[in-house]
Structure 1
Amino acid sequence: MTWFQAIVLGIVQGLTEFLPISSSAHIRIVSELWFGGDAGASFTAVIQLGTETAVIIYFAKDIGRLLKAWFVGLFRASARSDPNYRLAWYVIIGSAPIAVLGYVFKDAIRSGLRNLWITAIVLMVFAVVLAVADELGKQARDSLTMKDSVFMGLAQAMALVPGVSRSGGTLTAGLFLGLNREAATRYSFLLAIPAVFGAGLFSIPDVLDRSGPGPQADVAQTIVATAVSFAVGYACVAWLLRYVSKHNFMLFVWYRIVLGAVLCGLLATGVVSPT
């Protein structure tokens, strides 16, 4: 991998991580179209540490309150009525499905599921699902329940397939459950932190092993790509929260459909290889 490739992929990661359009799909597509090979699931997982660091800094006060309430509640029963204590548990519980399934299906995630035909079809199918959720969801609540955390956690786990979108899956589930767009988006950000940090740290040894196919990044390039994704991702967090307060998700729905259709055309004509 060249320095230019590392920087471009860092920008792509930062721009797409929090939008419901699948950052892993975009890394997969861009690395294949521009650089002639798959940058790999491990590289993708590691540079996501940059965007999740952006979330931690942006929501530092909220995260601090959650951690404080959780630790206090562990040792003091009277503190367990605090909404922040419950929300902290919801984040922990919601993170479990993607951790378990990511470990069990690790090999498939890093190989077969990265087929670009799967990515293209999934982009379009889940665009329709998001559109239905955005149209039919009651959007009547701004507080979460245990049921919300379980269903949104399962939805996040579907993002192990490139094209689903981690944020798109959780947002879609939240809308179907009756949460408003802002509440679903905020919980989506918080829910991502344990899952993405876990996957990123778990994948560091694989990135250090540069024997795989495709454009392999060295340590310095991976660090730079991660730093770039942090800077771009921080700006995207602020933008998305403002956007969802006034708009629906149809912009992202149509973008996914167009991208998936174009990718199908490129695959069908042999311009790009699916693997």
Structure 2
Amino acid sequence: MGDIDIIFVLKMIIIGLVQGFTEPIPVSSSGHVMIASKILGLGEQGFTFAILTNTASLLAILYFYREDIVRLALNSILFLKTRNERYKSDFRFGCFIIIGTIPAGVLGFLLNDYITENVNMATIAIMLFVTGGALWLVRNMKGNKGEGDITIKDAFLVGLGQAAALTPGISRSGATIISAIAVGMKQDTALRFSFMLYIPVSIGGVILGLTDFLDEPNKIDLAIPYLAAFITTLFMTFFALKWFMGIMKSGKLIYFTYYCFFVGVLLLVFFGNDRY
């Protein structure tokens, strides 16, 4: 391991802060990481770095929802064993998570390379406008569907929203929460379903990227800056998720509309068609 580049480590910490803060909120973490990398002169950090920071966000979300995950898993197993109706709601919710994961899993496998190779700052700006506009449309919607009221159609439509978020600038959490609210889910149900959908897709991405991570030729030299980014992302994701839950309860999603429009305009003005 060579001399530590303190400036590079600090830049990685900033990227970790950006990834961690924007992952849970509806503003597109992938788009913001690309923007931050552009501003910091880092260029594309590569698939390995994306897998690393996404894994940190995944661990934070797993920890945050650990009780729900354990309950869903245990009750689903108990339902399959006993067919007891008291466990059926959790079993159905687990099945709907699987159904909602399918669109993003299939389209991500088929189109991810094409999407990432054809993105520029203007693309991110336009997709931020789309995200902001969609948030504005659902700003006053209040559904009445709880976990036990979700249908297969609802789960698939929310899954399509998650698939749309493969394009940087379209927020994953935003697309799934917007879709969930649009099909009539309560806000707390929409939030939980959104982040439960994130878990299997993220785990799949980590598994698929494991070989690339192990084959990374510079992983020893990058160990300290990447570790700094990982730890920063981990803690920031957790605290950003807690903060966002408060925003959801207060019904202030409209603020993210203004933010997406503002950042989109800045991107078009200052970066135009620049690649990240």
TM exceeds 0.5? yes
Q: 1:132 aligns with which of 133, 137, 153?
A: 137
> What SS is found at the alignment partner of 2:256?
helix
Q: 2:208 aligns with which of 202, 208, 216?
A: 202
Between 1:119-128 and 1:79-88, the stretch displaced more is: 79-88
> What SS is found at the alignment partner of 1:134?
coil
**Paired letter, 1:225:** A
> What SS is found at the alignment partner of 1:105?
helix
Q: Output the CA distance in 2 between the equivalents of 1:67 and 1:207.
A: 29
Q: Cα deviation per residue 1:95-120 (whole Å; 9 max; x = unaligned)?
A: 111111111113213311x3221111
Contact 1:156-1:170 at 8 Å conserved across structures: yes
**Paired letter, 1:228:** T
Q: Cα deviation per residue 1:133-166 (whole Å; 9 max; x = unaligned)?
A: 223x342323332222111111011111000010
1:123 aligns with 2:128: yes
Q: Cα deviation per residue 1:32-81 (whole Å; 9 max; x = unaligned)?
A: 11124122355223311111211111111111000111222333333585
Q: Output the CA distance in 2 between the equivalents of 1:234 and 1:61.
A: 15
Equivalent in the alignment of 1:238? 242
Q: Output the CA distance in 2 between the equivalents of 1:107 and 1:237.
A: 29
Q: Output the CA distance in 2 between the equivalents of 1:266 and 1:201.
A: 37
In the TM superposition, residue 209 of structure 1 has moved relative to its aligned partner by 5.2
Equivalent in the alignment of 1:274? 275
Equivalent in the alignment of 2:21? 15
1:255 aligns with 2:229: no
Q: Output the CA distance in 2 between the equivalents of 1:80 and 1:152.
A: 26
Q: Output the CA distance in 2 between the equivalents of 1:227 and 1:55.
A: 14
Q: 1:99 aligns with which of 85, 91, 105?
A: 105
Q: Output the CA distance in 2 between the equivalents of 1:37 and 1:202.
A: 23
**Paired letter, 1:26:** H
**Paired letter, 1:274:** R
> What SS is found at the alignment partner of 2:271?
helix
Equivalent in the alignment of 1:186? 192
Aligned in 2, Cα 1:219/1:130: closer, same or farther, shift over 3 Å?
A: same
Equivalent in the alignment of 2:96? 90
Q: Cα deviation per residue 1:11-52 (whole Å; 9 max; x = unaligned)?
A: 111100000000000000000111241223552233111112
Q: Output the CA distance in 2 between the equivalents of 1:170 and 1:20.
A: 9
Aligned pairs for 1:140-219 (under 5 A) are 140-143=144-147, 144-207=150-213, 218-219=222-223
Structure 2 gaps, min length 5: none
Q: Output the CA distance in 2 between the equivalents of 1:4 and 1:207.
A: 22
Aligned in 2, Cα 1:219/1:159: closer, same or farther, shift over 3 Å?
A: farther
1:62 aligns with 2:63: no
Between 1:162-171 and 1:233-242, the stretch displaced more is: 233-242
Identity %: 28
Between 1:161-170 and 1:121-130, the stretch displaced more is: 121-130
Q: Output the CA distance in 2 between the equivalents of 1:198 and 1:226.
A: 18
